[in-house]
């Protein structure tokens, strides 16, 4: 698979990243060289292999559903770049 | 002040009253003052607070009621949450962010009276092998002329190497504790996946990430693991297996069966001194009565592509939370929401991080998911099964920690694949979730440290540490 300009823009949008014209080519080249390298895995026959998904031996580790003091609203808002008394503030979503 | 390399020596002198914690902290602060501007290992230093805590611990020692880590002055990687202290993952996107709770490992070392002296530089979100990919600038190795520290826990390693603290807590996703430990002549331990709770560790790749100690001695590594390991109701993946007395350091057997990866030790790409030091170590092991045999690992060339497909996928997902809304940095002048997300993330994430997010998003995208992501998960199983089968016949798998000693600053940053190849020997342990340690194994012709890596079966840390301690000469 080779990434072109159009795929790059599509992936960048999904990743919520902006690609500038000047860095486009560099990014396309490096992505393609890494993807080509990743494709070496196709040399292996994995037809009858199950994907390994979970790395822990623990299954359904559940704890008591206790009510404990969590962080307060004030603490939650503390690090936000823009906020009011109660909410995170973002640019207008609806007209 | 005597140059201490173990907590035991420190505690002996503290109890004898020949030193105090305050003097220890003053000693480390003085070293930070003198060296940090050049080395860039610490990005925050908690001077006043450490001195105050030192006085508290000194009182506790006098009273005879003190924690297991009393006298340990510790640094923590900039990925670990320490309540009311800054944590930013080496990234502009968390600029100004302060942790609102203690991560489990951090809480546990504090409960045992460790003194946290500061926060340490690292590659952005742990993404890097040289600690050159940080918003705070590169970390310099304390040895050699303009050599990298190794990454991503580079600040954590150099801080110990340069006596700016006794020990550090780093994190290891593909070698990030072992590689800088190797490059700096230290002991770096990556525990079994799930041995240590990940609560309060800023996530890079959740099925790989492990917190691990960087120390001058195997015994301090063992003591720290004893403190930070174990079940935790904040992390549903953490193991509930009992935490063993790792610091006893008594090998169970007199003679172990050890395999080395032929492809790794006989590789053409190995720096000659690294090869020689590794072979000398293998000969030493034989002379000590251990069985040492070469094994083939035909999958070795597939370790890194597997690792990078899976970790970039997991990181693209984990890093989606950084959107300029809830924490840290937001780009100025965005009038519309999606544009604000994009501008914020593009301005704040560094090149390598953007590249990994792009790769991860690509391999997870609907059209390519099976071809890359599922494929890598299948290869992950093959690597795990093959590694497990070797460890049924052998106690340990050994190889050099890295193919070469520390690079020159800037040497590997241009080509991502060249940079990724440095992780060749360390990623296996993360791909399969097994414990591995890097211990010092001499120096090259220019005095740069060489590391020797030992990997063991799942939850075999006790044997791994005891054996490592026994063969460290």
Question: B399-414, pLDDT tens digit by residue?
Answer: 999 999 999 999 988 8
Decide if pLDDT at B380 tops 90: yes
Interchain proximity A63–B233, CB inside 8 Å: yes
Range of the domain at B204: 7-248
Catalytic residue among B5, B44, B91, B152: B152
- Rounded average pLDDT over B307-316: 98
What is the model's pTM? 0.97
Say yes or no: A81 contacts chain B, CB-CB below 8 A: yes
Q: Which of B39-53, B145-159, B331-345, B411-425 has the lowest mean pLDDT?
A: B411-425
Higher-scoring residue by pLDDT: B419, B135: B135
- Contacts of residues B411-418 at CB distance under 8 Å and 24 or more positions apart, as own/partner, are B411/B148, B412/B129, B412/B130, B412/B148, B413/B130, B413/B132, B413/B133, B416/A30, B416/A33, B416/A34, B416/B352, B416/B355, B417/A33, B417/A34, B417/A37
What's the CA gap between B43 and B91, in Å, rounded?
A: 12
Decide if pLDDT at B473 tops 80: no
Question: How much is the ipTM here?
Answer: 0.95
Domain boundaries, chain A: 5-36
In a domain, B20, yes or no: yes
| A-chain residues near B174 (CB < 8 A) | none
- Rounded average pLDDT over B432-442: 98
pLDDT band at B285 (very low <50, low <70, confident <90, very high): very high
If you count residue pairs, one on A and one on B, with CB atoms under 8 Å apart, how many are there?
Answer: 168
Confidence (pLDDT) at A45? 97
- Rounded average pLDDT over B24-41: 98
Confidence (pLDDT) at B412? 87
In a domain, B136, yes or no: yes
Find the helix or strand (DSSP H, E) in which B186 lies.
none
Query: Peptide bond preceding A7: is omega within 30 degrees of 0, i.e. cis?
Result: no
Decide if pLDDT at A60 tops 90: no
Q: Which residues are paired to B439 by β-bridges?
A: B452
Q: How distant is the alpha carbon of residue B402 from its chain centre? A: 14
- Rounded average pLDDT over B318-341: 93
Decide if pLDDT at A22 tops 90: no
- Rounded average pLDDT over B326-332: 92
pLDDT band at B345 (very low <50, low <70, confident <90, very high): very high
Confidence (pLDDT) at B263? 87
| B-chain residues near A19 (CB < 8 A) | 346
Interchain proximity A31–B417, CB inside 8 Å: no
In a domain, B102, yes or no: yes
CB atoms < 10 A from the CB of B245, how many? 11
Active site residue B334: no
Nearest to A15 among B358, B382, B458 (CB): B358
**Can you point out the beta strands (E) in B88-186?**
115-120, 167-172
- Rounded average pLDDT over B162-178: 98
What is the domain-level CATH number for residue B71? 3.90.1300.10
Across chain B, mean pLDDT equals: 96
Nearest to A41 among B302, B320, B328 (CB): B302
Tens-place pLDDT, residues B72-99: 999 999 999 999 999 999 999 999 999 9
What is the rounded (10 degree) CA torsion for B58, B61, B66, B68? Answer: 90
Residues listed for chain B: 473
What's the CA gap between A50 and A39, in Å, rounded?
A: 19
The two structure tokens encoding residue B201? 């560790």
- Rounded average pLDDT over B147-151: 96
Decide if pLDDT at B328 tops 90: no
Nearest to A91 by CA among B91, B331, B327, B329: B331
In a domain, B95, yes or no: yes
Q: Nearest-CA residue of chain B relative to A3?
A: B362
CB B195 within 8 A of CB B239: yes
pLDDT above 70 covers what percent of chain B? 100
| B-chain residues near A33 (CB < 8 A) | 416-417
Strand, coil or helix: B346: helix
Q: Nearest-CA residue of chain B relative to A33?
A: B417
- Domain tally for chain B? 1
CB B330 within 8 A of CB A88: no
A29: left (phi over 0), alpha (psi -120 to 50) or beta: alpha
Nearest to B377 among A27, A37, A51 (CB): A51
Q: Residue B300 contacts by C-beta under 8 Å, 6 or more apart in sequence?
A: B261, B263, B264, B424, B428
| B-chain residues near A20 (CB < 8 A) | 346
Interchain proximity A44–B302, CB inside 8 Å: yes
- Rounded average pLDDT over B159-176: 98
Higher-scoring residue by pLDDT: B349, B327: B349
Helices B351-364, A21-38: inter-axial angle, 10-degree rounding: 60
For residue B446, give how far its alpha carbon lies from the nearest alpha carbon of chain A (Å): 33
Look at the block and give the residue holding tokens 């590794």: B278
Active site residue B343: no
Confidence (pLDDT) at B269? 85
In a domain, B282, yes or no: no
Decide if pLDDT at A21 tops 80: no
DSSP state at residue B262: H
pLDDT band at B222 (very low <50, low <70, confident <90, very high): very high
Interchain proximity B325–A81, CB inside 8 Å: yes
Interchain proximity B308–A38, CB inside 8 Å: yes
- Rounded average pLDDT over A38-58: 96
Active site residue B77: yes
- Rounded average pLDDT over B407-422: 87
Confidence (pLDDT) at B82? 98
In a domain, B464, yes or no: no
Say yes or no: A41 contacts chain B, CB-CB below 8 A: yes
pLDDT band at B50 (very low <50, low <70, confident <90, very high): very high
- Helix segments in chain A, DSSP class H: 5-14, 21-38, 73-78
CB B353 within 8 A of CB B126: no
In a domain, B30, yes or no: yes
- Rounded average pLDDT over B237-247: 97
DSSP state at residue B130: S
Decide if pLDDT at B158 tops 80: yes
């Amino acid at each position: 698979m080779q990434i072109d300009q159009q795929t790059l823009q599509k992936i960048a949008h999904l990743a919520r990243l902006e690609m500038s014209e000047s860095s486009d080519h560099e990014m396309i080249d490096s992505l393609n060289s890494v993807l080509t390298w990743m494709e070496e895995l196709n040399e292996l026959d994995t037809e009858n292999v199950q994907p390994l998904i979970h790395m822990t031996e623990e299954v359904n580790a559940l704890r008591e559903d206790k009510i404990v003091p969590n962080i307060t609203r004030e603490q939650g808002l503390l690090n936000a770049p823009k906020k009011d008394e109660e909410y995170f503030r973002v640019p207008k979503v609806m007209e | 002040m005597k140059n201490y390399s173990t907590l035991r020596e420190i505690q002996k002198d503290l109890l004898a009253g020949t030193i105090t914690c305050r003097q220890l902290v003053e000693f480390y602060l003085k070293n930070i003052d003198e060296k940090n501007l050049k080395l860039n290992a610490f990005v925050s230093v908690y001077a006043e607070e450490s001195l105050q805590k030192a006085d508290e611990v000194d009182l506790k020692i006098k009273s005879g009621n003190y924690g297991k880590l009393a006298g340990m002055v510790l640094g923590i990687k900039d990925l670990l949450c320490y309540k009311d202290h800054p944590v930013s993952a080496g990234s502009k996107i968390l600029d100004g962010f302060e942790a609102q709770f203690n991560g489990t490992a951090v809480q546990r070392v504090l409960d045992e009276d460790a003194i946290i002296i500061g926060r340490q530089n690292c590659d952005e979100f742990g993404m890097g092998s040289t600690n050159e990919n940080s918003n705070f600038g590169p970390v310099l190795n304390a040895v050699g002329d303009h050599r990298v520290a190794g990454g991503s826990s580079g600040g954590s390693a150099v801080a110990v190497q340069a006596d700016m603290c006794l020990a550090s807590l780093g994190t290891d996703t593909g070698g990030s504790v072992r590689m800088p430990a190797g490059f700096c002549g230290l002991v770096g331990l990556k525990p079994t996946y799930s041995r240590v709770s990940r609560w309060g560790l800023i996530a890079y790749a959740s099925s790989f990430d492990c917190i691990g100690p960087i120390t001058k001695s195997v015994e301090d590594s063992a003591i720290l693991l004893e403190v930070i390991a174990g079940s935790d109701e904040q992390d549903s993946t953490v193991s509930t297996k009992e935490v063993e007395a790792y610091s006893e350091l008594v090998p169970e057997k007199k003679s172990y069966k050890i395999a080395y990866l032929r492809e790794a030790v006989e590789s053409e790409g190995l720096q000659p001194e690294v090869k020689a030091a590794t072979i000398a170590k293998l000969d030493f092991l034989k002379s000590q009565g251990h069985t040492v045999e070469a094994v083939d690992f035909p999958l070795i060339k597939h370790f890194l592509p597997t690792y990078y497909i899976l970790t970039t996928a997991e990181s693209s997902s984990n890093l989606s939370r950084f959107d300029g809304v809830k924490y840290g940095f937001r780009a100025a002048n965005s009038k519309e929401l999606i544009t604000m997300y994009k501008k914020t993330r593009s301005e704040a994430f560094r090149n390598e991080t953007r590249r990994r997010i792009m790769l991860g998003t690509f391999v997870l995208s609907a059209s390519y998911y099976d071809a890359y992501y599922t494929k890598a998960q299948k290869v992950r199983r093959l690597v795990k099964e093959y590694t497990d089968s070797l460890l049924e016949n052998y106690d340990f798998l050994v190889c050099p920690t890295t193919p070469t000693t520390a690079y020159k600053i800037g040497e590997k940053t241009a080509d991502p694949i060249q940079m990724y190849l440095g992780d060749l020997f360390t990623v296996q342990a993360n791909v399969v979730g097994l414990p591995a340690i890097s211990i010092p194994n001499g120096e090259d012709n220019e005095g740069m440290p060489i590391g020797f890596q030992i990997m063991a079966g799942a939850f075999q840390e006790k044997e791994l540490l005891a054996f490592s301690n026994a063969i460290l000469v």
